[in-house]
Amino acid sequence: MSQKYRYDHVPQKHLVKKSARTLILVPIIVALVIAIGILIIHLTTTKQKTVNGPEAVTGSIAAISYPTQLINEPYFTIRIPKTWHQTSFIDNSAQYTITWMDVSQSKDTRWLTVYVDKILPNLAINNLLPIRVVGDSLKYGLLSDNCTSFASHTINQQTALASYQGINFICDIADIVGEVSGTGTVGSINKTTITGPTSGTHSYFFEYVERSGEPNYSYFDNALTSFRAK
């Protein structure tokens, strides 16, 4: 009598095929689960790399990369954008200043002035950028708001003594637009003393004017970061 096929009976060869597939798939699935677990742990525990640079970033549009030029002066070196040209040099009994302007846009919109030793005592600014001396270089902090928002003053007053992060400076009350930023350090007004390895000790004040309509204080920040006293 021929053997009848039972519907509840699974031929042995089918079981062998399923077992083989299972043996192949299980290691693959386990490997994928382990890989995903390792990736999740890496993403959630890996710390960001430390980047040497400024202590804080001032409020401005996103910084962009740009070619620079090294300015070599008797007492210091500094890097500024290649599109900036020197427009002024004053050396008299009242002041010693050098000014560079951004000529890539309309004139009189963005420029940097460095005062050395002979600094005008009544210089008034709108925003203070704290700096501190580290050897022959500088570190900058967080740029203040327009000082008219926190300096005590009376009606029709042109300037007023203001303080930001323990640094005193002269606030330009009359200019409510706030286009002029300047540096400052604790213990002095409009003066930061830096000692270079060869030129000795000198006092500096950095002034940055931003009237471009698209404020970018990274030019100011990067120039200060590149500064080296000789």
Residue range 137-162: mean pLDDT, rounded: 94
Weakest-pLDDT range from 30-39, 62-71, 165-174, 220-229: 30-39
Check: pTM over 0.85? Answer yes or no.
Answer: no
Average pLDDT of span 140-147: 96
Residue with token string 């070619």: 67
3-state percent breakdown (helix, strand, coil) of the chain, nearest 5: 20, 35, 45
From residue 201, alpha-carbon distances to 36, 90, 195 in Å are 59, 20, 4
**Binning pLDDT at 50, 70 and 90, where does residue 24 land?**
low
Q: Per CATH, the architecture of 68-229 is what? A: 3-Layer(aba) Sandwich (3.40)
Annotated domain spans of the chain: 7-46, 68-229
One DSSP character per residue, 58-115 reads: -SSSPP----EEEEE-SSEEEEEETTEEEEEEEESSS-EEEEEEE-SSSSSSEEEEEE
Calculate mean pLDDT across residues 174-190: 91
Mean pLDDT of the chain: 82
Question: Is residue 17 over pLDDT 70?
Answer: no
Mean pLDDT computed over 203-228: 94
Q: What angle do CA 169, 124, 68 make, to 5 degrees?
A: 95
Q: Burial level of 88, CB count in 10 A (0-12/13-18/19+)?
A: exposed
Residues whose CB is less than 8 angstroms from the CB of residue 27 and which lie 6 or more positions away in sequence, other chains included = none
Cβ distance 132 to 142 under 8 Å? no
Greater model confidence, 35 or 98: 98
